[in-house]
Amino acid sequence: MSRAILVLKDGTVFEGKSFGAESEAIGEVVFNTSMTGYQEILTDPSYKGQIVTMTYTQIGNYGVNEQDIESLGGPKAEGFIAREYMDLPSNWRSVSSLGSYLKSNGIPGIHGIDTRALTRHLRKYGAQMGIISATDFNPASLLAKVRSHKDIGDADLVKMVAGNDVRAWEERVWRWPASLVESTPALEQVRLRMVVYDFGVKLNILRNLVDADFDVVVVPAETPAEAVIELKPDAILLSNGPGDPKTVTYAIENSKKLIGKLPVFGICLGHQLLGLALGGSTYKLKFGHHGGNHPVKDLKTSKIEITSQNHNYCVDISSLKGQVKLTHRNLYDGTEEGMQHIDLPLLSVQHHPEAGPGPNDSTGIFTRFREIIKAA
């Protein structure tokens, strides 16, 4: 394997080996604490504009397969960082090594660096822009490149990952072994139509909606609210997606027009967009929440769920001035993880209830929202 180098915007340098494309990539460097699920992480559109560091030590053990993808069109992360890359995958579903997968999609990867030191640095000083290069090994040159690059909050990243067409979605959650699992029985005879705004939607969200007995129609991110209403949905879902919610101004405006007319459910970026549409504010976390082991308390049931997370921004619930009640709280740092409107059929969560990767503790939120629709 050839040489590779990582340079952070503050001048910190890590030298290692390349295991992806022989290229360069600039993005906001974050860390993810999941022990498995690197293929789902790489293909999660919410990682657009970011370089992902895995805190687990060995990555690539089971290769990549044809099922564990969370978006169409290949990986969305800008680059990938690991402590030790394993180039001999062993798994019955594997069709390729991780390194080959990255190369075929033009994504650079670096391994052989001290990811613990990098993670501690990001925790202390915050997530920051960085560059991975397997072609230029001059730290001064790379530092100049990353410092002249726009920050992740300066661009609308949603437009780079969202779909462009209206499409129906019928696939259910994949279960192992697929040949032995019968189709999930319908929860009710009457199916409800859910229109999903695609801001970079994870496929497992769509699968979980079908499992919760919704007929799912996906629409592009900039679809006018009036056009969505013409589809005669029973409810709207604002999906996850990348970047700063304040840059997605068209989504905020469309959300304002839909609130009060139809039940609305928001996940991650969708949660943040609802907060802004209601007149609230958002703030950026120091190093974000990324991983599959975040404890969140459901304030309605008092149960603690281990959740999958991938976000850098949070809604300031207090800025909504009593319009909503807090429904979920992150037990790591006390940040707000969910809200429900006091009067309107509106529910949203900051974490990823569909997981992919991660535990399935929170999937009940889909049927909870269905009950809100029925009550409305």
Active site residues: 268, 352, 354
Q: Could you count the other beta carbons within 10 Å of the beta carbon of residue 232?
A: 9
- Residue 187 tokens read as 């929860």
| Whether the Cβ atoms of residue 38 and residue 54 lie closer than 8 Å to each other | yes
Q: Tell me the three state secondary structure of residue 360.
A: coil
| Whether the Cβ atoms of residue 11 and residue 137 lie closer than 8 Å to each other | no
Beta partners for 167? 218
Conformation bin of residue 13: beta by default, left when phi > 0, alpha when psi is -120 to 50:
beta
CA distance 341 to 330: 19
CA distance 40 to 54: 13
DSSP output for 81-117: E-SEE-SS---TT--B-HHHHHHHTT--EEESS-HHH
What is the identity of the amino acid at 21?
Answer: A
Q: Tell me the three state secondary structure of residue 373.
A: helix
Beta partners for 291? 309
Where would I find the H helices in 223-344?
Answer: 225-230, 249-258, 269-277
Beta partners for 316? 281
CB-based contacts of 147-152 (< 8 A; 24+ apart in sequence): 147/9, 149/26, 151/28, 152/27, 152/28, 152/49, 152/50, 152/243, 152/244, 152/312
Strands 84-85 and 235-238: unpaired
